Amino acid sequence: MTTRWLTPEEQRAWRAYIAASLLLEDAIDRQLQQDAGMPHLYYSILSVLSESPERRLRMTDLAERLKITRSRLTYAVTRLEKDGMVRREACRYDKRGSIAALTDDGFAVLDRAAPGHVETVRSFLFDRLSEEQVGQLEEISTAIAQGLQEDGTRPASDDVPWRRRSSSTCS
Amino acid sequence: MTTRWLTPEEQRAWRAYIAASLLLEDAIDRQLQQDAGMPHLYYSILSVLSESPERRLRMTDLAERLKITRSRLTYAVTRLEKDGMVRREACRYDKRGSIAALTDDGFAVLDRAAPGHVETVRSFLFDRLSEEQVGQLEEISTAIAQGLQEDGTRPASDDVPWRRRSSSTCS
DNA sequence: TAGGTTTGTTTCAAACTTGAACCAAGACCG
DNA sequence: CGGTCTTGGTTCAAGTTTGAAACAAACCTA
């Protein structure tokens, strides 16, 4: 099977995409580091928690939503806990489980940083795109994400069709 | 000035984008780590070098093309040099300069890994998009990248309009 | 219900990134 | 020239990420 190389159009799209995503993440990380003292991911953790019922979520569910590994999340939450933004609680129904809960301090920080963050996302992303493009971006991103989740690191193909990990709310 | 929050459409686009970019980078990093023993960025370094005149480039120019900091590049090149993929050479015309040159070994590794890499990019990205969407992705990405480069970490606005760092080829 | 497997989470070492500080070497200017 | 500013690169410490290994609790299943 000979390789199907990228067409010139694909090349251009790919390179532009790489550059844009690098630059964008960088800009957002810098802004949040400045204004909230934490990188984007950490801010996202607070953000997701703040929108969850009772502002708490099990570690695995949190990792799932953020599309990161559990290990990475453990590290991040440990830091956030040290800073008092998050508190870890035991899960009553499953003694293995551990729940991350947003503290009032954490919420306050999020609240203070949110306007600046939104402004940044707006000025670097949405201000540059037409309404149409925003829709296109969503569709493109969704298509990509979907493809990547279906198989993740697919367990040998002789496995069960595919079962989504059920997320027990646990509280 | 009251914050202009993201509209529901923007929210969706933003979240989908974040998820997609995280997942995609992850998948590509894993594939390359597997097949080439190095993360995506390191592979890109070899790739950019391989397309440069004489397969060599000054550190600053390389960093510029890859949209990364010089510090990050220094670290990466040091590793690649240790692995024999790249060689550092002095710059004749500017004694400060240092040039990264792709070695034959480096080229060989690149050559061997390229098909798998392209295949991955294809299957996770381009196979999921229509021809039209590829064009849209390029336009969107270009718009974003452009906005982010113009100002970078803009030096106080009372500065010179903006001058692109000239990239002396130096050899 | 003992033994084996899966699931939820953390731990650990190695690799990588960040940003500020540092050190030359070129560029400028009086 | 001699001082000063800028540019190209590296260094260093602190922070983050990775992936594999370790654990413990829950879940089978015979």
DSSP reduced 3-state for A99? strand
Residue B44, Cβ neighbours under 10 Å: how many? Answer: 21
Confidence of residue A153 (pLDDT cuts 50, 70, 90): very low
pLDDT at A2: 86
* Chain position carrying tokens 């027990």: A168
CA-to-C1' distance for A142 and D16, Å? 27
B150 touches A at CB < 8 Å: no
Q: Which nucleotides of C are covered by protein (CB under 7 A)?
A: 7-12, 15-21, 24-26
Indicate if CB(A99) is under 7 A from strand C. Answer: yes
Rg (CA), chain B: 19
CA distances from B37 to A26, B31, B45, B80, B113 (A): 25, 9, 14, 11, 10
Confidence of residue A168 (pLDDT cuts 50, 70, 90): very low
pLDDT at A1: 77
CA distances from A80 to A61, A86, A103, A108 (A): 17, 6, 10, 13
Ramachandran area for residue A152 (φ above 0: left; ψ -120 to 50: alpha; else beta) = left
CATH architecture type of domain A21-131: Orthogonal Bundle (1.10)
Indicate if CB(A34) is under 7 A from strand C. Answer: no
Domain ranges of chain A: 21-131
pLDDT for B121 beyond 70:
yes
Average pLDDT over every residue of A146-166: 49
Average pLDDT over every residue of B96-104: 97
CA-to-C1' distance for B127 and D6, Å? 48
Closest CA to A1 of B17, B65, B171, B116: B116
pTM, 2 dp: 0.90
DSSP reduced 3-state for A130? coil
pLDDT at A151: 54
pLDDT for B26 beyond 70:
yes
The kind and range of the H/E element at B90 are strand B86-90
Ramachandran area for residue A55 (φ above 0: left; ψ -120 to 50: alpha; else beta) = left
Q: Which nucleotides of D are covered by protein (CB under 7 A)?
A: 7-12, 15-21, 24-27
pLDDT at B1: 77
CA distances from B82 to A33, A166, B76, B88, B103 (A): 33, 45, 10, 11, 12
pLDDT at B162: 33
- The model's pLDDT over A121-133, given as tens digits with 9 standing for 90+, comes to 999 999 999 999 9
- The model's pLDDT over A56-105, given as tens digits with 9 standing for 90+, comes to 999 999 999 999 999 999 999 999 999 999 999 999 999 999 999 999 99
Q: Which of residues 145-164 of A touch strand C (CB under 7 A)?
A: none
| Cβ-contact B136, A136 below 8 angstroms | yes
Mean pLDDT of chain B: 90
pLDDT at B151: 54
Look up the CATH number of domain B33-141: 1.10.10.10
Which segments of B6-162 does DSSP mark as H helices, in order? Answer: 8-36, 40-50, 59-66, 70-82, 104-124, 131-151
A-chain residues near B26 (CB < 8 A): 67
Cβ contacts, strand D, under 7 angstroms: A 38-39, 41-42, 68-69, 71-72, 75-76, 79, 94-96; B 26, 29-30, 33, 58-61, 70-71, 73-75, 77-78, 88, 91, 94, 96-99, 165, 168
Higher pLDDT, residue B46 or A1: B46
pLDDT for B142 beyond 60:
yes
Residues of chain A with pLDDT > 90, as a percent, come to 84
